[in-house]
Amino acid sequence: MSFSNRDFMLLDQRLFKAFMAAAQTQSFTHAATRAHMTQSGVSQHIAKLEEQIGVTLFKRIGKKVVLTDAGKALMHYVRQQMHSTQQFMDRVHAMETRVAGLVSYAMPPSCLMSPHFPMLLERRRAHPDIELNITLTSTQEVVRMLLENQMDFGFVTENNNHPLLRYRLFCQEEYVLVSSDPAPLQELTDSSILEQRFIWYPGSSYYYDRWLKHVFPERCHLNTYSLTFAGEINSINGAIDMVAGGLGMAVIPSHCVASLLEQERLCRHQASQPLLNDIHIITIKDHEYPRRVEQVIDWFFDMVADK
């Protein structure tokens, strides 16, 4: 498509501000205040527009100035131009901030079973050039891998205030004692708990210790080593299956067993107060991360804000 210099000289868009202010306020005096101009300046800009277009844009009715039909058409045109300009700016900005590359992070296996992971995958659809490398491991391993620069960030269930790490609160999860049989969960005591059998899985020691201190605070001697284990497996999913199969009971994040509790395939111990634990996102302090990493971290915090 060919064009000439005249195509760029038809309308001076710098005159639009005074025109829109006058159209909205129906007064050249008030338009001057809104447009941060003098009244004579507003009048001059509108006169130049009328000269360029070749028609009258306003007519005076009493103390007001109102748009003519041509003025209404120009207002519609200006609004379209403003909208098109904003769309163009948004598109260019999106192109400039396009993110791509590998983002690595680690988290406890229970985090994979939270609603946040599918929400992350949904957000990632809009950024197909982002690759995700996710490691499921214990909180201690997450910290070690981050400090050894094996990943970009991580999720942890404990805030140990490591001097090199930045801890940002992400969400909370509830820990519950579950069993396929409701009988042993009723009226648990510090003595009867020692008669039960439990399932061990990676990271469960932390859950057991927290739960015992929460339910039996006066029995500080109780810990994971006080319990009898009837089974061991290296998967939280497998541990849940073992509990559902009647092999033993376990302390598990509630979101991991929500559907089984609803189906009444599992029962939970009703503590006097829920046991809530903070989940943090950790990064290296004062480290400047690539845009792609900051983008993924922002997605996670956006999920919490939306929820």
Q: What is the pLDDT of residues 25-74, one digit of tens each?
A: 999 999 999 899 999 999 999 999 999 999 999 999 988 999 999 999 99
Whole-prediction pTM value? 0.64
Provide the number of structural domains found in the chain: 2
Residues facing 176 on adjacent strands: 252
Residues 110 and 61 in one domain: no
If pLDDT is split at 50, 70 and 90, which confidence band does 306 have? low
Cβ(23)–Cβ(2) below 8 Å:
no
Residues 122 and 25 in one domain: no
* Domain of 207, in residue numbers: 102-307
Residues 82 and 127 in one domain: no
- Write down which residue in 96, 114, 129 finishes a domain: 96
- Write down which residue in 96, 113, 130 finishes a domain: 96
- Name the least confident of 96-105, 135-144, 276-285: 96-105
Residues 291 and 198 in one domain: yes
What pLDDT sits at residue 145? 94
If pLDDT is split at 50, 70 and 90, which confidence band does 85 have? confident
What pLDDT sits at residue 98? 65
Q: Which long-range contacts (CB under 8 A, 24 or more apart) does 24-30 make?
A: 26/64, 26/65, 26/66, 27/63, 27/64, 27/65, 28/65
The pLDDT of residue 285 is above 70: yes
